[in-house]
Amino acid sequence: MIVVTGATGTLNGATVEHLLERVPADRIGVSVRDVSRAQLFADRGVRVRQGSYEEPAALRDSFAGADQVLLVSGNDPTADMVGLHRNAIEAAVAAGARRILYTSQHGAAIDGPYPPAAVHAATEAILADSGVAWTSLRYGFFAHSFASMLGPWRETGVITAPADGPVPWTSPADLSEATAVVLSGERSLDGAATLIAGEAVTLEDFAAIASELGGHPAERVVVDDEQWVADQTANGDPEQAARFMLTMFRATREGYFAQPDPLLAELLGREPRGVADQLAEQVGA
């Protein structure tokens, strides 16, 4: 059995949908906080059990009988995410899972400037010490997230932000499909595996793409880090949130997300969706 956590969320919910196209429903289970939200899966023959990373006993029950468990990473900056991930890994091991998969992040690194990357790296270390086979799916940054880096360019015609570097913004739909390919056994992956789009772009590239889509020039303006933080807070954003976003800019320009990898295209059997298509969707929305 394949058990998927976080299946009521958009990303892993889509992964389950892709799995249903590949394996019988009675070979799929989901572990969710609120079982009522997973009724659409239960109606189709998927096993639905309650479980959360805060409740190890419930997790063990929700993982029972699983050959593979897909753990979705948490994103609560106020929680001990490494500790919660440890709970989930230990529950999967106790339940007898033969392989644990985890949704990590491209550029995972203990000593990088972007704090979530350290959480993922620490979780990967726990997986490596778990005693069972493991796969860390290092997802590229989700394409819908680039809106916060671009700012109000559609109104101003200007992308104003600190210095940045290339990022392979990746479609969550492509990631869900590729993850289902791995879970269904069509491709086996051991250890850390990077799943990213085929092109890495800078904000300068975004400006060029946006200019073509909008029919009028979009300008890229680089500002000093501290000036950018001051501007964000003057516009009503909490300083803590602005400084967190600044760590992302620092990581991009230090090259943490610049390394290409063809694996996602190989799993999909086609090229992943590019930034131009994804930005066009946002412009047309």
pLDDT computed for residue 157 by the predictor: 87
What is the rounded distance in angstroms from the CA atom of residue 113 to the CA atom of residue 2?
Answer: 35
pLDDT computed for residue 77 by the predictor: 81
pLDDT computed for residue 187 by the predictor: 85
The gap between the terminal CA atoms of the chain, to the nearest Å, is: 39
pLDDT computed for residue 284 by the predictor: 58
For the chain, give percent helix, strand, coil, nearest 5.
Answer: 45, 15, 35
pLDDT computed for residue 188 by the predictor: 86
pLDDT computed for residue 110 by the predictor: 93
What are the structure tokens assigned to 93, written together?
């091991």
pLDDT computed for residue 200 by the predictor: 93
Q: Which residues of 124-160 are buried (b: 16+ CB within 10 A; e: fewer)?
A: bebbeebeebbbbbbbbbebeebeebbbebeeeeebb
What is the rounded distance in angstroms from the CA atom of residue 42 to the CA atom of residue 231?
Answer: 48
21-23-27 Cα angle (round to 5): 130
pLDDT computed for residue 215 by the predictor: 66
What is the rounded distance in angstroms from the CA atom of residue 110 to the CA atom of residue 91?
Answer: 24
Say if pTM beats, i.e. exceeds, 0.85.
yes
pLDDT in single tens digits along all 285 residues of the chain: 999 999 999 999 999 999 999 999 999 999 999 999 999 999 999 999 999 999 999 999 999 999 999 999 988 888 899 999 999 999 999 999 999 999 999 999 999 999 999 999 999 999 999 999 999 999 999 987 777 778 888 888 899 999 999 999 999 999 999 999 999 998 889 999 999 999 999 999 989 988 887 667 789 999 999 999 999 999 999 999 999 999 999 999 999 999 899 999 999 999 999 888 888 876 655
Contact 264, 197 (CB under 8 A): yes
